[in-house]
Amino acid sequence: MSSEEKRQALKAKIEAAEKRNEERSLGDMAKEATDKATDFVKEHPFATLAGVAVVGLAIGAMTRPGRRAGQQVGRKASSLASYATELGLAYASGMMATAGNVAEAGKDKLEDFGDALNDNAGALRRQAAYKSGNAAAAARGFTREAGKKAGRSIRDLRNRAGK
């Protein structure tokens, strides 16, 4: 596409846009602007609030009564800032206390869990000792009976061989 053709295409787009703008009414443009502003405020509420505050302070600073009021507001704003700081510190302190309580509760649960494991380990140890004691007693009894039978068998063989 040559530069002349590109210029003609761009000129056609501009004319079409101007024609669309002429056909739109002021009400349409106002509704579109309102919708866009509403969407922006919904998506960015804090930025909107900060922007409004800055614009308000700027307008107030440009007028003489605004400057006098600004001095009074400055004093009130500093006390408001100190209240906000105290509120923030109180909130942080409460969060730290809550975190401490949660940590303490976690420690208690872990301690209870450890005690339960220790109790279960003790019970298992006692059961194992009991069963090993039974097994040892059974082995001793088996050995004793086997020894008796072996001794009797040897005695019987000797008696038969001697006859």
Q: Decide which of 70 and 53 is more confident.
A: 53
Task: Kindly give the interhelix angle for 64-162 and 45-62, rounded to the nearest 10 degrees.
Answer: 150
Given a cut of 80, whether residue 7 has pLDDT beyond it is: yes
- For residue 73, pLDDT over 60 is answered with no
- Per residue in 112-159, pLDDT tens? 877 787 777 777 778 877 887 787 788 888 888 888 888 888 888 888
Q: Please report the DSSP string for 96-153 in residue order.
A: HHHHHHHHHHHHHHHHHHHHHHHHHHHHHHHHHHHHHHHHHHHHHHHHHHHHHHHHHH
Assign 39 a pLDDT band (cuts: 50, 70, 90): confident
Highest mean pLDDT among 10-19, 30-39, 63-72: 10-19
The CA–CA distances, whole Å, from 93 to 37, 80, 97 equal 39, 20, 6
Assess contact for 60 and 66: CB atoms under 8 A. yes
Question: What is the predicted pLDDT for the residue at 49?
Answer: 74
pLDDT of residue 79: 63
Whether the per-residue pLDDT at 66 is higher than 60: the answer is: no
